[in-house]
A and B are shown apart, each in its own frame.
Chain A
Amino acid sequence: MDEISCEVRFGRYGGRFVPETLVQPLVELAEAFERLRADPEFSGELSKLMRDFAGRPTPLYRAENLSRAIGRDVYLKREDLLHGGAHKINNTLGQGLLAKYMKKKRLIAETGAGQHGVATAIVGALLGFETEIYMGEVDIERQRMNVYRMELLGARVIPVRSGSRTLKDAINEALRDWAASYESTHYLLGTVAGPHPYPSIVREFQRVIGDETKSQILAEEKRLPDSIVACVGGGSNAMGIFTPFIEDDVRLIAVEAGGRGQGMGTHSAEHGASLAFGDPGVLHGAMTKILQDPYGQILESYSIAAGLDYPGVGPELAHLVETGRVETATAGDKTAIMGFKALSKLEGIIPALESAHAVGYAIEHPEMLGELSVINISGRGDKDLHTVIAYESV
């Protein structure tokens, strides 16, 4: 791994906009990460867990039926087959092990849909941490099943009643907890957002998706794909698969939640598309693109996919979009539902509603894909059946 991967800033984005109390814990985390990623014992232990516990490598599957339907060669990167059902485990195993080497006793995390909370709870159980998950009250109502899963795995779910009582408030609450508990506690942030060094740490633990994809596609096709499509909430599965291809001649397409439309109201937006419609600003410790009102109050976002329902985005993605390296696109609820059903029927794979945004986009825009494309299937869709049933019934 190269040395500059733990950068503080990505162009005008990134940085560490946090209360003074959090500066020192973040400095210590960055130092530990730099030290441990070069430590063969740490890497060895992580690789073993990734293989034996999480189920890596995941297949790169040539989706014949989908390819025929849209007239392009399409491969699917099957992160949905990982333990826990999503790419989130790549990051929670990495950071969990980091926390263990840093001799922390307790993990805290935020969760929206509950996917990252579940992935953290799994690692908490595996590595013997006391685990507490902050979750907005609204999300707890929407995601009962995942709340039960986390509790079953031995984690405590703490309801967040402040602000909009969703993911962004859960992150606020986790940061507040950490400011008082950092000596014993690691804050296991779930995406490539937040203050330095989180965007770099999470990207490095997720880039295994892209590293595998690269060698798999070269083995199969003897060439790189023309495009890679990934959905974006905070951006961790997208940065994970994009990172090894940044220097290559491959179109990188980041699909955000188009939700119900382009509207932005007084306190909320109808979408989760911070890259496409946001403005520069500071949220959760980083300068990035955010959904905000004219005075700088953060708006609530919206998406049918809870994992894409976030008013910010990772700072490195904001930078890569600004330089033109990554292209943005949006897919609304309707497109996602179409993608969800199409992949289920065509390939026998039920994708997460988040991933279904990437699938739906690819189906609607085959002209953007080139001849050969890879879609990142970041997770599986079992968790979303009740949401889709509810959507169908209105």
Chain B
Amino acid sequence: MNLSEVFRRCKPLIVYICAGDPSPDETVEIAERIVRAGADVLELGLPHSDPIADGPVIQAASQRAIAAGMNTDLYFDIASRIDGVPKVFMGYYNMVYRRGLDRFASDCKASGICGMIVPDLPVEESRPLREAASRHGIDLINMIAPNTPDKRILEIISLSSGFVYLVARSGVTGASADLQESTRHLIERVPPVIPRAVGFGVSRPEHAAELVRAGADGVIVGSACVDLIGRSELDQLEDLIRRMKRAMTEVSVKSAASIRQS
């Protein structure tokens, strides 16, 4: 299933984990539990030594994974062993560039990955990878931030496929207590010509529900899950995903019902 189909079927809950954390051997099992709990898309991170867009939780996970021997070859090996869920790559540009853009996109394809998120690759730098990705039928997912001007949003959208990743707030990844008004405003500013998934700071079922209510087409949760993995609390991880998914579905069902009533 490709990403457009996923978004046509539902408002997906997209779950990020750092491949190789706590060890390469455990990632497949963790991913299976996440899928079982109801994640619609798995965003599988390739750890980098210098993750400038990430907060302390994902930094720590990246360091654990690298220390446990994680590398790009193992990454694709792990990815190809995870079934039953659409998979998206997330990783920093140097890791992609170093392997070779075409080879990287081809390895994604071969291991069943359908999209790529590269947080340090803004649109004006993205052409070479976009071309390589599209040669292999992979979506390159662009990000839009609260401070992205309207004109630039249109440019970004025109160069996007799959979905766009709306960054809920300034700063880096990491759980936060509540959602900001600027997030709602951002969803309104991005025209719904392509699915809009919102991430950064989403950590509770209420956040996920609120985002769907505000018009998000999908919700991305990362640090909250990575934090539980770091503490080996996998039952709680499943529980969190289940509750998030349920909260999102309830909103969708209610709004569908209210549309039918009117």
Measured CA separation A120–B63 after assembly (Å): 30
The answer, yes or no, to whether B252 is at the interface (CB within 8 Å) is no
With beta carbons under 8 angstroms apart, the residue of A25, A172, A283, A294 that contacts B94 is: A283
B→A interface (CB under 8 Å): 48-53, 55-56, 59-60, 63, 66, 71-73, 92-99, 119-122, 124-125, 142-149, 152, 167, 170-172
- Judging by beta carbons under 8 Å apart, are A19 and B120 in contact? yes
Contacts of A5 in B (CB 8 A): none
Asked, given contacts A21-B167, A176-B52, A297-B49, whether A292 binds B124 with beta carbons under 8 Å apart, the answer is no
**A15 to B, closest residue via Cβ:** B125
- Judging by beta carbons under 8 Å apart, are B167 and A296 in contact? no
With beta carbons under 8 angstroms apart, the residue of B73, B95, B143 that contacts A19 is: B143
Taking the nearest CB of chain A, how far is it from the CB of B1, in angstroms? 27
Q: For B48, B49, B63, B122, which residue has the most chain A Cβ atoms within 10 angstroms? A: B49
With beta carbons under 8 angstroms apart, the residue of A19, A23, A182 that contacts B52 is: A19
- Judging by beta carbons under 8 Å apart, are B94 and A18 in contact? no
- Judging by beta carbons under 8 Å apart, are A24 and B71 in contact? no
With beta carbons under 8 angstroms apart, the residue of B48, B96, B149 that contacts A24 is: B149
Of the A-B pairs whose beta carbons lie under 8 Å apart in the complex, a sample of 30, sorted by A's number, is A15-B125, A16-B125, A17-B120, A17-B122, A18-B120, A18-B122, A19-B167, A20-B144, A21-B167, A21-B171, A24-B149, A162-B56, A163-B49, A163-B59, A176-B52, A180-B170, A180-B172, A281-B98, A282-B97, A282-B120, A283-B50, A284-B52, A285-B52, A294-B98, A295-B72, A296-B48, A296-B92, A296-B98, A296-B99, A298-B50
Residues A226-242 near B (CB distance < 8 A):
none
Asked, given contacts A20-B143, A176-B171, A292-B94, whether A298 binds B125 with beta carbons under 8 Å apart, the answer is no
Chain A interface category by residue count = 20 to 34
The answer, yes or no, to whether A175 is at the interface (CB within 8 Å) is yes
Asked, given contacts A163-B63, A281-B97, A294-B98, whether A17 binds B121 with beta carbons under 8 Å apart, the answer is yes
Asked, given contacts A16-B124, A283-B94, A296-B94, whether A162 binds B59 with beta carbons under 8 Å apart, the answer is yes
- Judging by beta carbons under 8 Å apart, are B95 and A295 in contact? yes
The 0/1 profile, CB within 8 Å of B marked 1, for residues 1-40 of chain A is 0000000000000011111110111000000000000000
With beta carbons under 8 angstroms apart, the residue of A18, A20, A296 that contacts B148 is: A20
- Judging by beta carbons under 8 Å apart, are B120 and A295 in contact? no
- Judging by beta carbons under 8 Å apart, are B93 and A282 in contact? yes
- Judging by beta carbons under 8 Å apart, are B50 and A179 in contact? no
Contacts of B59 in A (CB 8 A): 162-163
**B148 to A, closest residue via Cβ:** A20
Contacts of A289 in B (CB 8 A): none
Question: Closest 7 interchain pairs by CB?
Answer: A180-B171, A296-B98, A296-B95, A21-B145, A19-B53, A297-B49, A20-B145
Asked, given contacts A16-B122, A16-B124, whether A168 binds B147 with beta carbons under 8 Å apart, the answer is no
Asked, given contacts A176-B55, A176-B171, A297-B49, whether A24 binds B72 with beta carbons under 8 Å apart, the answer is no
With beta carbons under 8 angstroms apart, the residue of B50, B95, B172 that contacts A168 is: B50
Measured CA separation A279–B66 after assembly (Å): 21
Contacts of B167 in A (CB 8 A): 19-21
Contacts of A298 in B (CB 8 A): 49-50, 94
Measured CA separation A297–B98 after assembly (Å): 9
Contacts of A25 in B (CB 8 A): 147
Contacts of A16 in B (CB 8 A): 122, 124-125
Contacts of A24 in B (CB 8 A): 145, 147-149
Measured CA separation A279–B95 after assembly (Å): 13
- Judging by beta carbons under 8 Å apart, are B125 and A297 in contact? no
Residues A171-218 near B (CB distance < 8 A):
172, 175-176, 179-180, 182
